[in-house]
Chains A and B, each alone.
Chain A
Amino acid sequence: MKDISLGQYYPIKSPVHRLDPRTKMIAVILYIITLFLIPMLPNYINNGGTLHDYLIIAAVCYGLIFILLIVAILFSRVPILRVLKSIKGILFLLIFMSLISMFFYGGPISEGSWQWSWWNLNLSTESLINAGIMSLRLVLLILGPTILTLTTTPTDLTAGIESLMSPLKLIKFPVRIFALIMSLALSLIPGLMDETAKIINAQKSRGAHFDSRNLFKKAKAMMPILIPLFISAFKRADDLANAMDSRCFNSSKKRTKMKRLSFKARDLSLLLFVASLIGIIVYRGGLYMQSIMIGGIVLGGVAVVFMLFGIIESVVLKRTDG
């Protein structure tokens, strides 16, 4: 089985693995918001800051985030290389983006800084710093959710999403079904991957070429794979529906769950820790990006409210269940 980014759970026991999935999800959401709260160089300078100040702010903010990340990785006991592997997937995007932002930097350049230009391409101290920070941000952006998926089983993830979305029940959104669909999709992925490999081999053995360099030929060669894959996916779905019906799905009874999420002291302390880090970062750098900051706070607020709902619900359910 090759790497499947959605199901890359790393099965060991660690403090991070033990955390409530909702805690981890909220923490990751807050983490992402924070990343976007740190000002970018052009905005900072346009708002009257200097390059020197910016470097200090960036060092503090990214330093804090970096510490948070390292702590999380160390506590999760996942090998660092395994975590870093996730960057491989965005390597092309990363290089592309940093090149663009390096050569086409549109922000103001201070007088004393180093500059170089050829044809339409311009380099300067600012553009290099900007490109560096942008790639750093992208890498950090990927690593946070990677730790989440490495330390949380897909089942727990869907349970977490289900719980966080539970306020939507108020507007009759079928949260339970939605979560089930997600977990079904996750459980079907390995099977479908196997199926694809089988079909590719079958078509190859009948003389199909998939290694043409021509893009059109390549696209055309996909058809004999896609059609059987679709047919087998529908067949599979049909079988699955029968199997689910046979196991009493769709009964009028209210479904219960075997595993119930529980929000513990360690979850609260982690959230407080993350929140305080974010507090520092907003205080240091967020002042310059008010619009984004307001958006971030609103998002974070919504997330927290959702989480509270989920927690309250689970506490209430526990009470009633005895």
Chain B
Amino acid sequence: MAYGIWKIGFGNQSLISSNTNTLPGKLQQRSQRKSGQWIAVVLLLALLSIALILGHSSALLWAELSWSDFLLLLRLGSLVVVLLVAIAGIYSLVSQFAFWEGWLNGLPRPAEFFAQANQELAGSSGPAAVGLPSPYGRYLVYLDGIHQVEQDHPPLITEFLDTLEAGLPADTCLVRGLEAYTVMPGALIDEAGSSWFWQRVFALQQRHRSWLVQLLCAVLVQGNNVIKVGISSDRRYGPILNYELALKISLRLGKLGYGRGHELVLLGYSGGGEMALGVADYLRRICHAPVRIITCCGVFSGNQMLEGVERIHMLVGSRDPVASLGPLAYPGRSPLLPLSNWNRAKRQGFVQQVRIPGMSHNGPIGPFAPKYRLKVIQAILAILGGSTAESAERGSNSAGTPSASAGHR
């Protein structure tokens, strides 16, 4: 029955919205009411802050500003910025945790994930079958950067993924269209409590003639995704958010016929690198499979549990200013903290870096641009080819030495 509720919940999002007599419907209504109240509080605080600043600013301007007045304005402005960022982060958390409290009531245990999903695929009502045969031995999951708005990727990235998919070995399945910055299996535009806001933002972005308005809308979306990256890297909230995202990825893998034990490779671009590192250990436990991570121009904290990951490959452009900010934004990656999870992983040889000369973070010299696309794809294929060789070596070793492990730590 729990699986039935889950399927209703995520097989058809609109069914939840229209049918409030079901448990998921009632839970979503409650979540929406709570979110509405939080929206009112956030708006009121923002209005008060703006009124305070404007009132103070106009008085100062009237009296002819001096240098000390400018400094005071600067201090007040900085304080307001910090307040707004903090409030936006807290509001984002509210929607996450209201979701956490309500969503998991109808979710089957991870131990039963793939058995039930494979039963659905096979149309069998017999005993749960673990690890039904799949044509793929490896699943490559792509997690997009903070520019991600919806399941469909931008044209450049779509071309990149098409080219990558064409070059993949026959036993590798590319999983794309995953929204890494929403926890519900739906688009940002459908998020409970904030859909009214995002619908307007997306409408403005698509129809407004002014490039400034379009830019502002894009910044708002990216700001939301940056907050999610911040939540993922936070030592308090990260474990829970990353678990939620791992469940979402597992659900998608189950729909694609994933069988336990098949290798998982997480390919994260920019902020997607943080999400990839966050979900890796959870996916390893849920899927009982080795997990490998490839970050492309990745921005990540390295605070996560990394001991269970097979290897982390970093594709870094020599002209990428954003990825190089990583150690500054996340002290755990700085060499000054040798005991951090990231630095321990580096010392143990789990981290491999591949530099691509001349490549930047995005734009005409970014990884998805025609100039560097093939280089990045070749690097990814080389990593996958290397992992295949390692898997084969592990297989032959385990055949010769019965006591050797099957690639799990």
A, B from the same assembly = no
**Which A residues have a C-beta under 8 Å from some C-beta of B?**
none
**Which B residues have a C-beta under 8 Å from some C-beta of A?**
none
